[in-house]
Chain A
Amino acid sequence: MQHVLAMILQPDPSQASQPVFADSASIWQHMSTALHQSLYRVLTLLIVILPGILAFIAVLAISTLVGMALSALLRWGLRSAKFDDRFARDHGTVDWAPSSSATNLIARGAFWTCVLLGLIIGVSAFDAAYATFALRPNTFLPYFTQIVGAVFLLVAGTLIARFLARSVLIGAVNEQLQYARFLSLGVKWLVLVLTAAMVLDHLQIGGNVVELAFGILFGGIVLTLALAVGLGSRDLVSRSLESRSATSERGAANPATPANSAGDPIRHF
Chain B
Amino acid sequence: MATANRIPAFTATPARLGADILVLLSSMPQQQLESVLDKLNACFSSRAVVIVTPDPLPVDSFPSLQFLTVPATNTSWTLSAADYANAYQLAGKNEARSILMLGPEAGSLSLSALADLANAVLTTPTDLAVPRYDLPPHGGMINSAILYPLNRALFGSRVRFPLALDLGLSLRMAERLAGIAGRFTPLSQGEALIWPVNEAMVAGFIINEFDSGPRTQPQPPGIDLSTILPLVTGSLFSNIDANAAFWQRSRQLPPVRNPIARSLPMTMALSVDASAEIAPMLQAFHLAYTNLQEVWRLVLPPSSLLGLKRLSATDGAAFRMPDNLWARIVFDFLLAYRLRTINRGHLLGALIPIYHAWVASHLNIIASGIDPEHHIEAVAAAFEADKAYIVSRWRWPDRFNP
- Which of A's residues lie within 8 Å of B, judged by CB? 88, 91-93, 95, 97-98, 163, 166-167, 169-176, 178, 180-181, 246, 259-269
Q: Provide the bound-state CA to CA distance between A130 and B216, in Å.
A: 78
Knowing A93-B183, A262-B136, say if A180 contacts B284 (CB, 8 Å): no
Give the B interface residue count (CB, 8 A).
58
**B238–A264 contact, CB under 8 A?**
no
Is B139 among interface residues, defined by CB-CB distance under 8 A? yes
For residue A145, give the distance in angstroms from its CB to the closest CB of chain B. 31
A-B contact pairs, 13 of them (CB 8 A): A91-B187, A163-B343, A166-B343, A173-B284, A174-B349, A180-B287, A180-B291, A181-B291, A259-B216, A260-B135, A267-B135, A267-B140, A268-B142
**A269–B232 contact, CB under 8 A?**
yes
**A92–B287 contact, CB under 8 A?**
no
Knowing A262-B268, A269-B217, A269-B232, say if A170 contacts B140 (CB, 8 Å): no
The interface residues of chain A lying within 8 Å CB-to-CB of B139 are 260, 267
Is B306 among interface residues, defined by CB-CB distance under 8 A? no
The interface residues of chain A lying within 8 Å CB-to-CB of B284 are 173-174, 176
Knowing A266-B138, A268-B228, A268-B229, say if A170 contacts B359 (CB, 8 Å): no
- Which of B216, B220, B349, B353 has the most C-beta atoms of chain A within 10 angstroms of its own C-beta? B349
Contacts between chains A and B (CB distance < 8 A), count: 113
The interface residues of chain A lying within 8 Å CB-to-CB of B162 are none
Nearest neighbor of B241 in chain A, beta-carbon distance? A98
The interface residues of chain A lying within 8 Å CB-to-CB of B292 are 169-170, 173
The interface residues of chain B lying within 8 Å CB-to-CB of A181 are 290-291
The interface residues of chain B lying within 8 Å CB-to-CB of A246 are 276
1/0 contact trace for B74-98 toward A, CB 8 Å? 0001000000000000000000000
The interface residues of chain B lying within 8 Å CB-to-CB of A266 are 138, 141, 274, 277, 359, 363
For residue B390, give the distance in angstroms from its CB to the closest CB of chain A. 15
* Contact partner, B353, options A92, A174, A178, A269, Cβ 8 Å: A174
For residue A82, give the distance in angstroms from its CB to the closest CB of chain B. 16
Q: Provide the bound-state CA to CA distance between A268 and B231, in Å.
A: 13
* Contact partner, B238, options A93, A263, A269, Cβ 8 Å: A93
Selecting from B4-12, B13-21, B44-52, B334-342, the interface stretch reads B334-342
The interface residues of chain A lying within 8 Å CB-to-CB of B342 are 166
Q: Provide the bound-state CA to CA distance between A117 and B342, in Å.
A: 31
The interface residues of chain B lying within 8 Å CB-to-CB of A180 are 287, 291
* Contact partner, A170, options B280, B290, B295, B339, Cβ 8 Å: B295
Is B248 among interface residues, defined by CB-CB distance under 8 A? no
